Amino acid sequence: MTTSMLSSSRPYTRWWWFSGPIDDAVIRSQLEWLAANGFGGVEIAWMYPQDNSQLGAPWLSPAWAAPARFAAEYAASLGLGCDFTMGSAWPFGGCHVPPEDASQTWHGPSSQHLEKSWETPLGVDGGPILNHLDRHALARYARRFGAGLGLPTDRFPAPGLFCDSWEVAPDALWTAGFDKAFRRQYGYDILPYLSDLDAHPHVRYDYRKLIAAFAIEEFYRPYTELCHELGGLARVQCHGAPTDIVAAYALADIPESEAILFDVDFATFAASAAALVGRTVVSAEAFTCIYGWAPCPGPGPHQGEERLADLRLIADGLMANGVNQIVWHGMPYNPPGGAQRFYATTHVGPDSPLASEFADFNAYMTWVCEQMRRGQTYADVAVYLPLEDGWMAGELPESLQKPSSKYVYELQETKFPAMLKGYCPLWVTGHFLRDALYRDGKLCCGAAAFSWLYVDVTWLDGAALTDLVRLARAGLPICLARRPQEPGLRQSTAYAAQVAELAALPNVSADWRRVAVNPPLVEGADLPDFWCRVEEDTLILFMAHPATQHLRYPLNYGARRGNVPVVRHCALNIAGRRHPVALQLAQGQSALLTASRTGVEVQLLP
């Protein structure tokens, strides 16, 4: 009986439980409808009351927990999974967060409070935001939540415990002891700089780098440990966090991306992390605010009028960038004939205009995701993620800012270099190079292996530079596209000499063509987005329609750029043999290629 994302690739849906009465009969009805329409499970998200005159059972009370436990048990009886958001609304916070566990700034307690939560009427601020830089505050929060639900339990299968995107106000983030930790790390006092930190970008870099380390060690690492303590799996969205996003994603049991407030290729961060640590499943919150976002209570543009062709492009774009588990966003708790809606979502339910199409569309996504879980991710080139560039930079230009991004370090405009697409690139950071080795002609980096490394950054941390020199001395081919500079206030006198030594090595070049050891796996002009898995001697490639490359928030309703019949000519280079392929794709069509040294089979998908 399938009850987990790890055992089934059928799409999940977020299930909005609005504060108010929750009835077992409605739970049964909605879960039965989901099972009949090709869904694999639900993620319960406790939200604001739609009728502000009636709040639900007190948060974490037995009356609050009883329907959630019933839902998990009944879902399991239907072969469905049931995950829980760890908390109400987002980010973590609420009335159960005491002042000593609340988010801090260097000015004092943060003014940010939880919005749209189960605990308060819509428009009324809830409790404080949790201090995400204090593992002890997180532990108290998680254990309160687990105790409220009665976790761990053997009454239903281990749930996924979901953490949404960061969404903690980033300005002036602080926690007790941060100034002392900063002094130990960097040898100087940050306090005199705080009144005008943006005027000192190298000090700001040091601050952001240490905040990034705190986010990993005080939040993301203990979050997964706490999920396991509660008998669950950690499913985590790390985007928005001021940290090494790939290292953070790598700590989750199931790393999760999002679209289309985030471009579909943003999923490569979560997919790279999964490949580096040997995780199989990469999920994505999908179909959120696709034509634009409107503040609560909404609705957003064309909400309720979503076109399946647009949803198909989004799903295909995600799956061609490493996702193999779709999470619909989402289904409201609704009695038969009910009219409850969530303000920023593609509506899931029997009253949706897409109701007759859910089963077939879910079956399609399930099948593709099954193929994209076979074997392991294939990659030839590791691309150094320019985290340091983001930490040195300020805000994005206003024209590039979105409801989901403001700062360069959020990486929403960071893309793989186009000329590397055929080499199946993955992101790496200094965190992974620290323990990487070059042996037998491969850069062995966690669970992944690469033939060469591409580095194109303005700023490069001194520790990462030391690792690059070490690996290059061992023979790793490196493209050093430009000579980097050292970020941070206190710089090493040896940095310039290390850069010169690295650049002078014969296996290091500024021209990537001189470094690429092998021809690209996929060769051709204007390649579609694709993802490749390797299973023994077989390569499995999912290729999306080229129109997925034009998907940007917000989608222009009714004008789907490039979604027309196309022909793409390419070739697969396998074991020294070149296999030409002609892809003739109808409007919105994708393809699955199965390849080995003996040839390539092309399956056009309906």
| Tens of pLDDT, residues 116-147 | 999 999 989 899 999 999 999 999 999 999 99
Tell me what the mean pLDDT of segment 151-165 comes to: 95
Query: In sequence order, which residues have a C-beta less than 8 Å from that of residue 514 and are 6 or more positions away?
Result: none
CA atoms of 339 and 34, how far apart (whole Å): 18
Average pLDDT score over residue span 353-366: 97
For residues 186 and 393, give the distance between their C-alpha atoms in angstroms, rounded to a whole number: 20
**Tokens read off for 154:** 């053997």
For residue 3, pLDDT over 90 is answered with: no
Dihedrals phi, psi of 90, to nearest 5 degrees: -155, 150
Residue 443 forms beta bridges with which residues? 438, 450
pLDDT of residue 558: 77
Q: Cα separations (Å) of 304 from 293, 299, 343, 348, 473? A: 13, 9, 10, 10, 58
Q: How far apart are CA 172 and CA 207, in angstroms?
A: 10
Tell me whether the omega of the peptide bond preceding residue 297 falls within 30 degrees of 0, making it cis: yes
Residue among 602, 600, 572 nearest 585 (CA): 602
pLDDT value of position 560:
75
Q: pLDDT per residue over 182-197, tens digit each?
A: 999 999 999 999 999 9
Q: What pLDDT is attached to residue 559? A: 66
Neighbours of 398 (CB within 10 A): 7
Average pLDDT over residues 508-514: 98
Residue type at position 25: A
586 C-beta neighbours (distance < 10 Å), count: 12
pTM over 0.95: yes
Average confidence (pLDDT) over 236-240: 97
Say whether pLDDT at 453 is over 60.
Answer: yes
Query: What are the phi and psi torsion angles at 567 (to 5°)?
Result: -125, 130
By residue count, the chain amounts to 606
pLDDT in tens, 545-578: 999 999 999 998 876 788 999 999 999 999 999 9
Query: What are the residues facing 93 on neighbouring strands?
Result: 129
CA distance 299 to 290: 12
Q: How far is Cα 323 from Cα 260, in angstroms, rounded to an integer?
A: 14
pLDDT category, 74, cuts 50, 70, 90?
A: very high
Mean pLDDT of 411-423: 97
| pLDDT tens for each residue of 576-601 | 999 999 999 999 999 999 999 999 99
Residue type, 330: G
Is the pLDDT at 301 greater than 90? The verdict is: yes
Cα angle 307-310-311, degrees, rounded to a multiple of 5: 90
What is the C-alpha to C-alpha distance for residues 248 and 267, in angstroms, rounded to an integer?
14
Task: Output the CA torsion 333→335→338→340 (10° steps).
Answer: -10
- The H-or-E segment that residue 470 falls in is helix 462-473
Task: Please tell me the predicted confidence (pLDDT) of residue 80.
Answer: 97
Span 407-432, average pLDDT: 97
φ, ψ of residue 79 in degrees (nearest 5): 80, 20
Token duo for residue 391: 């930490």
List helix spans (H) across 474-558.
495-504
Question: Can you state the percent helix, strand and coil of the chain, rounding each to 5?
Answer: 30, 25, 45
Task: Output the pLDDT for position 2.
Answer: 56
3-class state of residue 295 by DSSP: coil
For the chain, give every domain's residue range: 379-514, 522-605
Average pLDDT over residues 496-511: 98
Question: Minimal CA–CA distance to 241: which of 167, 188, 314?
Answer: 167
Binning pLDDT at 50, 70 and 90, where does residue 248 land? very high
Closest CA to 270 of 243, 226, 239: 239
| Residues 267-295 pLDDT 10s | 999 999 999 999 999 999 999 999 999 99
Query: How far apart are alpha carbons 243 and 69 in whole angstroms?
Result: 34
Average pLDDT, the chain: 96
Contact (CB, 8 A) for 170 and 407: yes
Query: CB-based contacts of 94: which residues, under 8 Å, 6+ apart?
Result: 59, 87, 88, 114, 117, 119, 126, 127
- Distance between CA 104 and CA 132 in Å, rounded? 9
SS3 label, residue 174: strand
Rounded average pLDDT over 491-500:
97
The token duo for 484 is 């980097």
Question: What angle do helix axes 135-149 and 221-229 make, rounded to 10 degrees?
Answer: 30
563's tokens: 């979604």
| pLDDT for 459 beyond 70 | yes
Give the largest Cα separation in the chain, rounded: 73
